[in-house]
């Protein structure tokens, strides 16, 4: 049995009794950061053994954990540092491999920063779309945001404290002065939410000398923005879009990542990159893709 256990995003009072019982009764806890999770376990007097499962070892370690579940019949609880595993956090690979191997996977729901931020935004939308962390590179970020224009549901993004101001500025550049809600330190003592037009929220953020602390959730209301025109000309193929990004200064690997972030299927982007490399293997891409060409499974 694999239990996907949500843990507090800041306030230990949000830990559910079911989550505590699950972690106590499991034979093994797979944690994003064992040091961080150990503090949680100590607080609740839980003594279940820990093993690390993070973005750098999940690909290789998941198979070993699944094998133990099958051969030894152990129950494993999956946790991340905060919130729900496999949602902009490690865990999806383990969940997929366990399910494919016939292991029963059970959710133990709990705190979610995205849902919490939406609930205090004040936006009246029929639904929302959660996108996690946006691209970091400036040009890729602007294109990524521009592609969201015209969405009728609220758009939710995560961002680190050091990049929150840059994200707000990119929203202004790509989408205009749209209504936003920016939440920080949700469920913690100094929880704060700024609401208003993006320019005003950015100004308030920059005026706070302690703003670059905590994690941020940005909710966007894009109903008043114009969707990018797609009918004026045939949509560019993936090869053309990759080439355009590469000629704009990105490596082929970065261009591929940008298209995947925009919603294109990873396999289709990978196939397009191979086609483009075949067409231009001695041409314009040679400078950009040197030592950064796609690898199987990227």
The span from the CA of 121 to the CA of 180, in Å, is 8
The span from the CA of 104 to the CA of 116, in Å, is 28
Residue 79: the pLDDT is 98
List per-block mean pLDDT (blocks of 10 residues) for the chain, which spans 298 residues: 97 97 98 96 98 94 96 97 92 96 97 95 92 92 93 95 95 96 93 96 90 88 74 60 82 85 82 78 45 42
CATH of 2-111, one of 2.30.30.180, 3.40.1010.10, 2.40.50.140, 3.20.20.60: 3.40.1010.10
CATH of 114-220, one of 1.10.10.10, 2.40.160.20, 3.30.950.10, 3.30.70.100: 3.30.950.10
The residue assigned the tokens 């995947």 is 260
The span from the CA of 11 to the CA of 219, in Å, is 21
The span from the CA of 57 to the CA of 135, in Å, is 22
Domain boundaries, the chain: 2-111, 114-220, 238-289
280 burial (CB, 10 Å; 0-12 / 13-18 / 19+) is middle
Domains 2-111 and 114-220 share a fold: no
The span from the CA of 72 to the CA of 69, in Å, is 6
The span from the CA of 263 to the CA of 18, in Å, is 35
Query: At residue 97, what are phi and psi to the nearest 5 degrees?
Result: -65, -35
Q: Is the pTM of this model over 0.85?
A: no
Residue 236: the pLDDT is 64
Query: At residue 102, what are phi and psi to the nearest 5 degrees?
Result: 90, 10
């Amino acid at each position: 049995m694999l239990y996907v256990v949500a843990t507090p995003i800041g306030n230990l009072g949000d830990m559910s009794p079911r989550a505590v019982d699950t972690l106590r009764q499991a034979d093994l806890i797979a944690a994003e950061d064992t040091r961080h999770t150990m503090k949680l376990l100590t607080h609740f007097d839980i003594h279940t053994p820990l093993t690390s499962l993070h973005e750098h070892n999940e690909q290789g370690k998941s198979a070993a954990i699944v094998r133990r579940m099958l051969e030894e019949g152990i129950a494993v609880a999956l946790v991340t540092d905060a919130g729900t595993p496999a949602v902009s956090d490690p865990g999806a690979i383990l969940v997929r491999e366990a399910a494919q191997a016939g292991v029963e996977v059970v959710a133990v729901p709990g705190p979610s920063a995205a849902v919490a931020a939406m609930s205090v935004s004040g936006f009246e939308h029929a639904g929302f779309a959660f996108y996690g962390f946006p691209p970091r590179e400036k040009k890729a970020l602007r294109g990524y945001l521009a592609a969201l224009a015209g969405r009728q549901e609220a758009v939710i993004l995560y961002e680190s404290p050091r990049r929150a101001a840059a994200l707000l500025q990119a929203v202004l550049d790509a989408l205009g002065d749209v209504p936003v809600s920016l939440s920080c330190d949700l469920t913690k003592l100094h929880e704060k939410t700024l609401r208003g037009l993006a320019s005003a929220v950015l100004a308030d953020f920059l005026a706070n000398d302690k703003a670059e602390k905590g994690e941020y959730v940005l909710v966007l209301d894009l109903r008043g923005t114009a969707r990018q025109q797609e009918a004026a000309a045939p949509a560019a193929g993936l090869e053309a879009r990759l080439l355009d990004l590469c000629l704009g200064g990105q490596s082929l690997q970065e261009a591929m990542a940008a298209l995947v972030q925009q919603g294109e299927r990873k396999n289709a982007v990978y196939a397009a990159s191979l086609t483009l490399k075949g067409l231009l293997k001695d041409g314009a891409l040679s400078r950009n893709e040197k030592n950064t060409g796609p690898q199987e499974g990227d």
